[in-house]
Amino acid sequence: MDKKLRSSLIKSKASELGFFLCGISRAEHMDEEAARLEAWLKKGLHGEMGYLESHFDKRVDPSKLVPGAKSVISLAYNYYNQEMQEDPSAPVISMYAYGRDYHKVVRKKLDHLFDFIRQTYGDVTGRVFVDSAPVLERDLARRSGLGWIGKNTMLIHPKKGSYFFLGEVICDLELEYDGPIDDFCGTCTRCIDACPTDAIAPQGYVMDGSSCISYLTIELRGEIPPRFEGLLQNRVFGCDICQDVCPWNRFSVRHDESQFKPVSGLLQMTREEWMDLSEPVFTRMFEGSAVKRTKYEGLKRNLEFLKKK
């Protein structure tokens, strides 16, 4: 079977599993991305996320993660939800955290895809990833033609927007490779102008991770610096602001993944209920959710910080 047919069958199976984008790139050292990552780390723009400094060689070369790898299959899984939190004064969580933790949902589908590849093409060596290893997933997806990396540093597709999760299958199967698409951000600066903490560089394309609301409310383990008081725009877990204002997200369509439906009662919580959140309610409400990443103490820290505005 030739590379083109192999690739076509894999993309067809990916679609069957619910992925709405699939592209393939060569597994090779990424010189340009390596230089950019090194410069970003040297400036300390990753804040306390020290793990981003680890395994640098693996981050910039997928063949180091899977010895002998020839191909990276990049996939996108939609999570866009049109439902909103009902109380406009309630603390806001990112849309991606409304339902079940995406790591579990997408990982299972990637496992099914890799099983299909092995059953179809024989003894294929590979691994699947969903934000679970030192993988530059946005860069690999860009190389695979799934979109361009916008001024807000998110991957954007001209017909799908940016509300999607990324996953990869890195394997030693030789496939037909897709190429990058053009950048269509143009002169737009909506994401830059809208970011309340000025985390996006004035020219775009560079994110000061240590100032990003997602970092402050999820990754940061200590106290949120006082200089951010009044700037979180009621965000308590993650931030969608730069995506909400992106014109390309007018093409986003509602997901059809039952496991991403909002947890029962979540969108109906009032500001008072959020502020009085107890640990038992937190445990029940966010069982199996990405919000568990902050732990109860972290979420309470964020809620208390909102009171300082």
The question of whether 240 is a catalytic residue gets the answer: no
Reading the block at residue 297, the tokens are 């103490």
Closest to 62 in 3D by CA, of 129, 162, 151? 129
The catalytic position among 87, 131, 172, 183 is: 131
Per-residue pLDDT tens listing for the chain (309 residues): 699 999 999 999 999 999 999 999 999 999 999 999 999 999 999 999 999 999 999 999 999 999 999 999 999 999 999 999 999 999 999 999 999 999 999 999 999 999 999 999 999 999 999 998 899 999 999 999 999 999 999 999 999 999 999 999 999 999 999 999 999 999 999 999 999 999 999 999 999 999 999 999 999 999 999 999 999 999 999 999 999 999 999 999 999 999 999 999 999 999 999 999 999 999 999 999 999 999 999 999 999 999 886
Check residue 154 and give its pLDDT. 98
In the numeric block, the tokens 């509300």 are attached to: 163
Q: How high is the pLDDT of residue 132? A: 80
Any bridge partners for residue 73, and if so which? 24, 169
Domain spans, the chain: 3-82+98-171, 190-253+261-306
Q: Is 27 exposed, middle or buried (0-12, 13-18, 19+ CB in 10 A)?
A: buried
pLDDT of res. 158: 97
Distance CA 223, CA 226 (A): 9
Please tell me the pTM assigned to this model: 0.96
Could you tell me if 237 and 285 are in contact, meaning their C-beta atoms sit under 8 angstroms apart?
A: no
Tokens coding 38: 């090194």
